[in-house]
Structure 1
Amino acid sequence: MLEFNEDELEQLRADAQRAYDLDRAHVFHSWSAQKQITPMVISRAEGSYVYDGEGRPFLDFSSQLVNTNIGHQHPKVVQAIKDQADVLCTINPAHANDKRSEAARLISERLPENLNHIFFTNGGADAVEHAVRMARLHTGRRKVLSRYRSYHGGTEQAINITGDPRRFRNDAGDAGVVHFFGPFLYRSEFHATTEAEETERALKHLRRTIELEGPETIAAIILESIPGTAGIMIPPKEYMQGVRALADEFGIVYIADEVMAGFGRSGKWFSFEHFDVVPDLVTFAKGVNSGYIPLGGVAISDDIYDTFADVSYPGGLTYSGHPLACASAVATINAMEDEGMVENAAHLGETVVGPRLRALAEKSSIVGEVRGAGMFWAIDLVRDKETREELAPYGGASAEMNEVVGKLKAGGILPFVNFNRLHIVPPLNITAEELNAGLDVYEKVLTEA
């Protein structure tokens, strides 16, 4: 942990006050009513900790927006960015550059054999936009199917594909998107009592959706391999394999959204690996370089690549494969490999987080369910364990949730919160000691609530 002397703290406070005042005067925040927010100033960060404007440490159990998979200020990545800035800061993406080429190699080597080509974007939302565009051009069809309780990005097409309440005010119903219910046994839409029933009924529902929409009109099915912000509901393996089979049967492109779930988050390089399926397109961002510089992309199957082998792809970005971003991706992937971060996430998820959260669910009167894998867990908070009424309404907040969050922050935790859920999503390279210290705070708050 960082330590500050009195002079450093005084300067931190002064800098933080100036940052806050300028923020409130000039910065327009996303997903916010502008006059209703009081954003925390973050002055420093290192490893699994961030520090506020007073120099107080917080264990980052949010990984910010579930993207700092290797933690903050990893020295190898910071140095790689500095070194690249000395050589080549930016270049027209029509030219080849060594860091983009190497990043593409490292990413494709961790994917199935038929996903050999990488189109780089600036983040996850435009990765989804381009994946959908590719699917539509490849199939000559328009519609896209996505599940309720999903998030795919904030740009025009991506927000319409999204299946959570952030879509509502942006959705005019003309984006060619059809939503369907996915499997989620704890809050089943299919009156299922077992995972097998949930899987069977969810697949039947999806098949009927395809049939009634017209298979010849559907370009793509897009699924978060493990839905992230929507609740970390891990789908049954048989369901994901059934989706792959339906896509094959009807000639539909299967897009795996790995923006949040990828690059080790669930204890594997890509979360679709849990289900023994191979997508046609894979979108990624966040963990590819831990968000140190904006970067995302689409991994493209050989069949879809061939569609554009001799006919130009009508799309591009000024910063596609930006040298500084790709240098940080190369350093991130190599550091993750060299330091065993994916294995660490899988091990700590299985031996520490899972057992502790399941024990917490037994002790706490407001923990309805816990679920997850790797460093990707959700705690579903309820008013009543029998009725499963959420502690905050879907799409909203509550005084009780605000109280829980306030107590977590008072205990030195920076939590990830969505409606009635707390997500346990720290960096993949967090130590067992840090992880247990943070979970101690969750246990205290949630057993006393």
Structure 2
Amino acid sequence: MNEQFVKETRQPEYLRKLDKEHYFHPTTPLKLHQENGPGLIIKEGKGIHVTDVYDDVYIDGVSSLWNVNIGYGRQEMAEAAKQQMMRLSYGSSFFNNSNDQVIQLSEKLAELTPGNLDVSFFTSGGSESNESAFKIVRHYWKLKGRPERTKIIALDLSYHGVTMGATSATGVREFDHMITSSAPGFLHAKPYLTDCEKGDKSQPDYESSIRGIVEKEGPETVAAVILEPIQGVGGINIPPEGYLKAVRELCDEYGIYMIADEVICGFGRTGEMFGVDNWEVVPDLMSVAKGITSGYMQLGAVLLKSELRDELAEMSDDVFFHGFTYSGHPTACAVGLKNLEIIENEKLVQNSKHMGDELLKGLAYLEEQHQVTAKSRTAGLLGAIELYADRDSGKAFDPSLHAAQQVVEECLSRNLLLRPLSFGGMNAVALAPPLIVNKGDIETMIDRLSGAIKAFENKVLK
């Protein structure tokens, strides 16, 4: 191919033109994209930084989609993929086939997960993992002679993915509104009603709690409860102490399966290997993705208790008619193994906890310095700070102002990538940098975010 032609086609404006013509972007305003083209076009990443096609360098303060836990540009990750591709690029796990990499990764995950979550079913990502978890528990109850146990209870403001079942479980209503019909059997409870889940019927929201819904629907119709240990997309919502244990005890009481969606929280993000480890709770099934490969390869999994797998095996001699072409993909599994090795060898879970403390200090500083900031919170390197027109009274900004979006855009102009969270009337800015960050990186992020908030205040405060 002509070298000059290649050079010209890589020019930023030509790339923008091609993007507008040929790329249908996920989770993007389509009209905005068609009018203006793409925002950032990233061409390179190293450590916690990414570089765009204009050679501007940014701190990635949200690990792209909460997933680049070990940072960008790790040579050992590329080498692991290359070596595996040359040895065995792909192998199907259908029809009782296997490969050495998926076996080793299954063993490693059994070592890392809490309790006896010792069995892995592999997928390509988080939506597929949650979808698979729903199918597994419903299949179990059908084999058990209880086919009426199909209902899945999730939480308001939860996010579980974009396949049909995962969308139906998601409690962020904007995702549900774009489809014309939801999958049946999905219900939503108000989150964090700890006393209600313990059985206190005097609470005003009792009927909206998980327990209230179970009692109304009948526990004999409920297959599982799914929740994120810490809600991500819904606002970095950290449950109160005792809540997860109350849900665990409720599920035990009624023989309901508890599914933990660890797609964001897993592999060190919250300062523990898994989010549930912060509260010493062991779910029956656990969905993972994102941090399992730090985004270097598409991979997800459902971890389930060995007793559940054993029961399924005992109850049926038939084929388990569920699986994906890339279930147990050997190259993805090799990359996952190398990623977990890096997380352990570099003590990134511990670093997440320590740097999370620094991040919380930085967010507290922002609350001291700015009039519109409040309710800062972190769990490891998963954090947020909220914006209010009047924080003392809790008065929100007018939704038309898009306050969080404005602050994030100001951050972008300061070469810091963050994410606005505005579901459920919230205006929050999310922070979730790679787990390799140091104190200086945190200070730089806080300084740039402070400048962005100040610029926003100058526009909106009289």
Give TM-score scaled by structure 2 length.
Answer: 0.87
Partner of residue 372 from structure 2, selected from 366, 389, 393: 366
1:167 maps to: 176
2:101 maps to: 99
2:447 corresponds to 1:440: yes
2:155 maps to: 147
1:255 maps to: 259
2:51 maps to: 51
Partner of residue 351 from structure 2, selected from 329, 344, 348: 344
Moved more, 380-389 or 324-333: 380-389
Measure the CA separation in 2 of the matches of 1:357 and 1:184.
Answer: 27
Q: 1:221 to 1:126 in 2, by over 3 A?
A: same
Shift of 1:63: 0.6
Shift of 1:184: 8.3
8 Å CA contact 1:68–1:286 kept in 2: the answer is: yes
Letter of the 2:50 counterpart: V
Letter of the 1:278 counterpart: V
The number of residue pairs the alignment matches comes to 426
Moved more, 378-387 or 220-229: 378-387
Shift of 1:96: 1.6
1:194 maps to: none
Q: 1:385 to 1:436 in 2, by over 3 A?
A: same
Give TM-score scaled by structure 1 length.
Answer: 0.90
2:86 maps to: 86
Moved more, 218-227 or 87-96: 87-96
**SS of structure 2 residue aligned to 1:59:** strand
Measure the CA separation in 2 of the matches of 1:85 and 1:285.
Answer: 21
Letter of the 2:415 counterpart: G
1:177 maps to: 186
1:318 maps to: 325
2:25 corresponds to 1:18: no
Partner of residue 308 from structure 2, selected from 279, 304, 310: 304
| Aligned counterparts, 1:148-297, within 5 A | 148-164=156-172, 165-170=174-179, 172-183=181-192, 205-297=209-301
Measure the CA separation in 2 of the matches of 1:13 and 1:411.
Answer: 28
2:401 maps to: 398
Moved more, 438-447 or 41-50: 438-447
Shift of 1:85: 1.3
8 Å CA contact 2:387–2:403 kept in 1: the answer is: no
Partner of residue 423 from structure 1, selected from 423, 430, 434: 430
Measure the CA separation in 2 of the matches of 1:177 and 1:133.
Answer: 13
1:7 maps to: none
Deviations 1:281-301 (A, max 9, x none): 000000000111110010011
2:67 corresponds to 1:71: no
8 Å CA contact 2:165–2:183 kept in 1: the answer is: no
**SS of structure 2 residue aligned to 1:237:** coil
Measure the CA separation in 1 of the matches of 2:159 and 2:342.
Answer: 28
Shift of 1:247: 0.3
2:43 corresponds to 1:34: no
**SS of structure 2 residue aligned to 1:115:** coil
Identity %: 32
Measure the CA separation in 2 of the matches of 1:329 and 1:203.
Answer: 42
8 Å CA contact 2:123–2:326 kept in 1: the answer is: yes
Segments of structure 1 that go 5 or more residues without pairing to the other structure are: 1-9, 191-196
Shift of 1:13: 9.2
Shift of 1:173: 4.9
Shift of 1:169: 2.5
